[in-house]
Amino acid sequence: MFSVSQSQTVLQCGGKDVRMDCFVPEGDTSQNGTQRFPAVIGLHGSGGGHLSMAEPASMLATQGFAVYVLHYFDRTGDERVSDKATILRNSPAWLKTIWEAMNFVEKQPQVDTKRIGLLGFSLGAYLALTIAAFDSRVQAVVEFFGGFPKEIKLFMRRLCPVLILHGEADTTVPVQEAYDLKELLERRELPYEIKIYPDAGHGFSGEVWRDAGLRTLNFLKRYLEAPQPNPAS
């Protein structure tokens, strides 16, 4: 396991300060400069719960991923969002903020620019998949209880391997969203993994949360090829 350095940086996006929590493995700098890690950008859900991403971000960082949790609501001044009209109105600004965050992340000396993934919860999953449909820098997406926006299907340019995690008892985002995404990936002959938890709703806890975390780690290791820690460190 890697030791992890935690910090917060502030991006300037559309004239607004946008915070980003950084969880970065401490790599081996003894040879050939700074060790480069695959990067994962974390996107919270409509509740604005970026703190809910701290646990998975820390876990991934100890396993060799540089993780950046983006407070994308800072761009629009939201604390939480509960209505579709606000989501549709603010999504262009949020997507531009994620794109700018990716520009920042790929310039970091500890990041391998060819190994960038997105991790999204609910609304954040929809945004992650939207970005992945257009930006070739995204090599993998893990989506928790989200889906793929139907409005994007006609305009998408590409997609990448996706891990789909959803609760069958979800009354906020119906599980059909997971099956629709699965069908889309199959039509395009793209790699994917899917796990539907029979008794889980919108949000995971307990054994479901632990299982989803392990699946997330294994999926990102497979498609972003996380390095192993130096045995001497």
Beta strand ranges found along the chain (DSSP E):
4-13, 16-25, 37-43, 66-70, 111-121, 138-144, 162-167, 192-197
Q: Say what the pLDDT of residue 72 is.
A: 96
Q: Say what the pLDDT of residue 51 is.
A: 79
Residue with tokens 């979800």: 170
Region at 231 (left for phi over 0; alpha for psi -120 to 50; beta for the rest): alpha
pLDDT digits (tens, 9 = 90+) for 93-136: 999 999 999 999 999 999 999 999 999 999 999 999 999 999 99
Q: Say what the pLDDT of residue 193 is.
A: 98
**Ranges under pLDDT 50 in the chain:** 30, 231-233
Q: Which two tokens stand for residue 206?
A: 């307990």
pTM of the model: 0.93
Using DSSP, state whether 65 is helix, strand or coil: coil
In Å, how far are 46, 133, 180, 192, 221 from 72, measured between CA atoms? 11, 19, 26, 26, 26
Q: Say what the pLDDT of residue 33 is.
A: 65
Q: Say what the pLDDT of residue 230 is.
A: 54
Q: Which two tokens stand for residue 214?
A: 């392990």
**Surface-to-core class of residue 68, CB atoms within 10 Å of its CB (0-12 exposed, 13-18 middle, 19+ buried):** buried
Identify the CATH number of the domain defined by range 4-224.
3.40.50.1820
